[in-house]
Amino acid sequence: MKKILAMVMAVVMVLSLAACAGNGDKKDDGKKTVGISMPTKSLERWNRDGSYLKEEFEKAGYNVELTYSDNNVTQQNNDIDNLVAKEVDLLIVAAIDGEALTQTLKNAKENGIPVIAYDRLIMNTNAISYYVSFDNYSVGKLQGEYIEKALDLKNAGSNVYNIEFTAGDPADNNARFFFNGAFDVLKPYIDAGTLKVVSGQTEFEKVATAQWNTDKALDRMENLLASYYSNGTVLHAVVCSNDSTAMGVSQAISSSYHGGNVPFITGQDGDVANLRNIVDGKQSMTVYKNVAHEAVVTLALSKDILDGKKPAAELAESQEIECTYDVESYNNGTGIIPSYLLVPSVVTKDNLQDLVETGLYAWEGDYLVSTAK
Ligand code: BGC
């Protein structure tokens, strides 16, 4: 009897060792695990993305491994390597540097793990199956159109308005889309002399902001103000690609601009501090992208992939959220990446209540706060 018991024990041990081998610390609860790699906690939106994605996937019965990489490319590569070692079933990645994940994602592919590029396209890799984002060109277009309307450029006559541009991180594939979207709307007015870029800085590389960093946007704007506007030249508008750069620009305007007006300043994301600036008249608008919706579409896509389906246009059509299936706009250097693109909208002082109606913001006195956990 003792002998039989010892044999049974030995078999059980061998079996459980086999189950552990190569299994990282994957939970053995029969649920699939999704690995989510976010760029940083230092910008408000990625905290919201992380928490909405986690919530959606857990509600749908998946385990979630969520990492933040502190805007550090090496760390993001390590974080993804770890998720691969843990044998996650699917990876969702918002890249810090779209060009810097090729080798790591090759490894994921070799391990049979499908990858979704989340919000930012990942370049030069054939490991990506799909891309989920907002229509990034439209984000910029909405910013350009806002300025066109605010300055009434169509009826400007012989008036000349001064403008500057602040774009995003060159390592982020989205940044050029935003910049081009805005620039294409405003370029005819620059060409006609109705808009004057006093600094002469109209190229993306010149106006870009590494890592979308607020302090860098602030420093650059202070330099522009000192160099081109200190003699009282009026600055009418600054196109900023997102809220973190808009924050730096409006700080520079408050401290170092003496033209007597507050320029129109655009933004993107609906960050709480920027919504406060909108209430206080320091920023004019933000392009809002409901990242809870981005999480919902990402979940629907992930489910299909994990169920062995090959989702295409019908997935976009079946969403309650407005979303298009795009197989033209996003080429990552290895070919077109099929994309699900959501629709951004403009938020100003006049429609802040729309944000409250999403359930993701609430009034606290005159200002909005986030309801995200
Ligand atoms: C996102 C923006 C965000 C920016 C900085 C972009 O890739 O699409 O929503 O403001 O990164 O984090």
Instruction: Give the distance (Å) from ligand 1 centre to CA of residue 99.
Output: 16
Measured from the CA of 46, which atom of ligand 1 is nearest?
12
- At residue 5, the pLDDT reads 47
Percent of the chain scored above 70 by pLDDT? Answer: 92
pLDDT tens digits along 347-369: 999 999 999 999 999 999 999 99
CA of 307 to the centre of ligand 1 (A): 30
Atom of ligand 1 nearest to the CA of 269: 9
Q: Is 278 in the pocket of ligand 1 (CB under 6 A)?
A: no
Pocket test for ligand 1, best of 247, 268, 291 (most atoms within 8 A of CB): 268
Q: Ligand 1 atom 12: the closest Cα is on which residue?
A: 43
pLDDT at residue 25 in the model? 61
What does each C-alpha distance from 49 to 55, 74, 92 come to in angstroms?
A: 10, 21, 11
Distance between CA atoms of 146 and 22, rounded to whole angstroms?
54
**Residue 24 pLDDT level (bands cut at 50, 70, 90):** low
pLDDT digits (tens, 9 = 90+) for 97-143: 999 999 999 999 999 999 999 999 999 999 999 999 999 999 999 99
pLDDT the model gives residue 29: 85
- Flag whether the pTM goes above 0.85: yes
Mean pLDDT of 215-239: 98
